[in-house]
Amino acid sequence: MHDSARRGKPNRLAKETSPYLLQHAYNPVDWYAWGEEALERAKKEDKPIFLSVGYSACHWCHVMAHESFEDEETAKIMNENFINIKVDREERPDIDDIYQRACQLASGQGGWPLSVFLTPDHRPFYVGTYFPKDGRHYGLPGFQTILKQLAEAYKSKKGEVEMASKEFMDALSQTARDVALPAGEAKTGIERSILDEAAVGLLQMGDTIYGGFGQAPKFPNTSNLLFLLRYYDISGIARFRDFVLFTADKMAQGGIHDHLGGGFARYATDQKWLVPHFEKMLYDNALLAQLYSELYQITKDERHLATVKKTLDFIMREMTHPDGGFYSALDADSEGEEGKFYLWTKKEIRDILGDPATIDAFCEYYGVTEGGNFEFKNILNVRSSLDAIAKRAGKKPEEIKKMIDGACAKLLAEREKRVRPGRDEKVLTSWNGLMISGFAKGYAVTGDTRYLEAAKNSVRFIEARLASPEGRLMRTFKDGQSKLNAYLDDYAFYAGALLDLFAVESKPEYLEKAVRYTDYMLAHFWDEKEGNMFFTSDDHEQLIVRTKNFYDLAIPSGNSVAASNLLRLYHYTQDNAYLDKAVRIMKSGARPAAENPFGFGQLLMAMYLYVKKPVEVTVMGRGAMSRWLNGTFLPDGITASVDQKDMAALEKYAFFKGRGAEGEAAFVCRNFACSLPLKSPEELARQLGVRPA
């Protein structure tokens, strides 16, 4: 990871645990972390605040740090005129959310690094993202010029600063609830027509040439793809499934996918998925593991299963704490160059592989050329087919695959000798929740117990280090310290993970914990007046506004995930309070989701579950029927696979009453009517109307 120039004495950030803040611990800038000390000093000295928000794997954050924050002259201007605060957006998404909204209001776009100038009482008056040190490049004003102008404006044009900050505050107050309406004012019901409108709208936004949505930069937008699979399930219209399959193939073939080590980069800078921003984020890989697992359930295509395995193996190998939690990110840069760890010259490949036939097959398959496809080097991306190469070489496709797999193993071993990108070793509760779900679903389709254990180990980690018995969660763990109040995402994603784990291994403690954390979340985040949830708890530090989130951004919306969780918990418990709150959340976002579905994939998934009316499936025993159920695409399923010895602890939940049976048996309930005990996967498949694999 990018390190500050290590000269002089460390600043206050040296006491922090965030890898991003520690990257700036030797800057000549007199940095503070966000906290009372910095905020009080700003008020006492009547100085404006310069707030810089970023994250450890952010390439342009590193560029601005090197150009400006390591520069003595720039630091002098900052230190003399501002109270300078550094924030890791992954630790403090609440702060990032507020000031990103301000940036969107000012310029129509946001991003990182986020550069915000605040009055001493935290109100923004000037907002931007990356600024070069001087104004010669990118058509942007120079950072030193901005610092001087704003410092002077704060001293001599206070009225203008006040007016700018008031305009920001008025607008922020209007946008704090996001796009959702209070449930009581929402005129739109939760109806099938919303799903129809949204699915058609999403497909119209789709790129029919390269897959995905939009042109460039191109993000996976996994929640939208998962919703389209559910719309295919409810509608039976194949083109929705086919678009997701097409997109998934293009991503898996592209440079955004690490063909040697597994895992996906955060996004592609081009329309074709070729050139990634090379950082790898835990949340992307968690969500994509779920997507490819579902695609395997639908198609039984071994390519999708291979993608699931490579992604999860990458997380286990490179992103896992020794005690079981999952780390946050791998940097884009190594040795000061973006992507250097992942790039190859043809000569390097030739020297490592040696065998001419293997070299030819590998280079044809992955599009490797002497001139390269990125700064005279090669990003591996699938450019041919095994069949085409086999035909040219006079071999069988299986032989070519074996040659290429062997070549990949050799190159991966050689790559391991390179200087590695830095790793952000924060363990974040919300992102771990997403990854637990990814491992649970990966276990469901592979049957590989390593993946089940990885999910369970992360639960143990969170319970030991980030949770309290009464249901309170902390946000982050690093270097032996757990800190910061958890946010809505932390509660929603972790409760959802426990439910996903319960679906594949129905241990009573997983359901009990999901209930506990959901109840705590409702007690501290719920807005009874508007029928949805705040991003921060009622006992959180008071910031300039208390926001709500409904849009899926890089990660899903906490409100939307919570709605799905509440629906599932209603079916397990028959507690009508869960159903009532799920309905109110969905009503809040129903009309915006229909009109602008792009940011509402997760909410649309919850609405699908409500509209379709879930099927409840209980399998007693962990044998053939349980394995069949795990491998079947059943997105409307509320499921459990229960060991007989656990039934006594589960019978307090309505879902399990009267479900006991001798030996392996399954029960299917739909619309309040239940089947007789079913005794084979074939019987279960017939009852569910699913063709057995």
**How far is it, in rounded angstroms, from Cα 455 to Cα 441?**
10
* CATH classification at residue 676: 3.40.30
| Residue range 391-396: mean pLDDT, rounded | 94
Please report the sign of the dihedral spanned by the C-alpha atoms of residue 7, residue 13, residue 14, residue 17: negative
Residue 432 covered by a domain: yes
Q: Are residues 17 and 64 in the same domain?
A: yes
* 575 and 632 belong to one structural domain: no
Longest pairwise C-alpha distance within the chain? 83
Is 153 a residue whose pLDDT tops 50?
yes
pLDDT at 179: 64
- Asked if the structure places residue 182 within a domain, the reply is no
Of all residues in the chain, the percent with pLDDT exceeding 90 is: 89
Q: How confident is the model at residue 138 (pLDDT cuts 50, 70, 90)?
A: low
Residues 515 and 437 occupy one common structural domain: yes
pLDDT at 6: 52
- Give strand ranges (E) for 391-493: 423-424, 427-428, 474-478, 481-485
**What CATH number did the domain enclosing 50 receive?**
3.40.30.10
**Cross-strand partners of 641:** 619
Per DSSP, which regions of 592-653 are E strands?
615-620, 637-642
Give the pLDDT of residue 622. Answer: 87
Q: How far apart are CA 128 and CA 99, in angstroms?
A: 10
Please report whether residue 187 resides in a domain. no
Residue 163 lies in a domain: yes
Phi, psi of 126 (to 5 degrees): -155, 135
**Tens digits of residue pLDDT in 207-222:** 999 999 999 999 999 9
What range defines the domain where residue 638 resides? 615-688
* 6, part of any domain: no
Together in a domain, 238 and 378? no
pLDDT for 470 beyond 50 = yes
Out of 549, 582, 612, a domain closes at: 612
Summarised one tens digit per residue, pLDDT across range 329-377 is: 999 989 989 999 999 999 999 999 999 999 999 999 999 999 999 999 9
Q: What is the DSSP letter of 212?
A: S
Distance CA 661, CA 142 (A): 73
Asked whether residue 313 carries a pLDDT value surpassing 80, the answer given is yes
Q: Tell me, what's the pLDDT at 7?
A: 58
- Which band of pLDDT confidence, cut at 50, 70 and 90, is reported for residue 1? very low
Same domain, 242 and 327: yes
Q: What is the mean pLDDT of residues 542-546?
A: 95
Examine the domain organization and report whether 443 and 558 are in the same domain. yes
Answer yes or no: are the C-beta atoms of 231 and 593 closer than 8 Å. no
Q: What is the pLDDT of residue 5?
A: 47
**413 shares a domain with 440:** no
pLDDT, position 140: 76
Whether residues 620 and 599 fall in one domain: no
Q: Which residue shows structure tokens 């490049």?
A: 137
Q: What value does the mean pLDDT take over residues 573-598?
A: 95
- At residue 319, does pLDDT exceed 90? yes
pLDDT at position 136, please? 67
CA distances from 470 to 246, 300, 516, 545, 578 (A): 46, 43, 8, 28, 19
Three-state DSSP state, 664: coil
Stretch 283-311: mean pLDDT, rounded?
98
User: Tokens 């994250």 belong to which residue?
Assistant: 55
- Say if residue 414 is in the same domain as residue 463: no
What is the distance between the alpha carbons of residues 177 and 253, in angstroms, rounded to a whole number? 39
| Confidence band for 64, pLDDT divided at 50, 70 and 90 | very high
What is the spatial distance between Cα 165 and Cα 51, in angstroms, rounded to a whole number?
Answer: 15
679 located within any domain: yes
Residue among 165, 13, 95, 68 nearest 475 (CA)? 95
Whether residues 593 and 654 fall in one domain? no
Q: What pLDDT, on a 0 to 100 scale, did the predictor assign at position 184? A: 64
* CA 257 – CA 272 distance, rounded (Å): 12
Calculate mean pLDDT across residues 177-187.
65
Length of the chain: 693
> In the listed set 146, 175, 204, which residue is the last one of a domain according to the structure?
175
Are the C-beta atoms of 209 and 201 separated by less than 8 Å? no
| The predicted structure's pLDDT at residue 108 | 87
pLDDT digits 0-9 by tens, 472-501 = 999 999 999 999 999 999 999 999 999 999
- Does residue 1 fall inside a structural domain? no
Contact (CB, 8 A) for 667 and 655: no
Q: Is the pLDDT of residue 180 over 70?
A: no
Residue where a domain terminates, one of 175, 203, 227: 175
Write the CATH number for 322. Answer: 1.50.10.10
DSSP percent split of the chain into helix, strand, coil, nearest 5: 50, 15, 35
Query: What's the domain count of the chain?
Result: 4
Residues 566 and 466 in one domain: yes
Mean pLDDT of 502-518: 98
* Cβ-based neighbours of 392, under 8 Å, separated by 6 or more: 364
In a domain, 2, yes or no: no
Please give the model's pTM, rounded to 2 decimal places: 0.95
Residue 2 is predicted with a pLDDT of 44
The reply to whether 561 and 683 lie within a common domain is: no
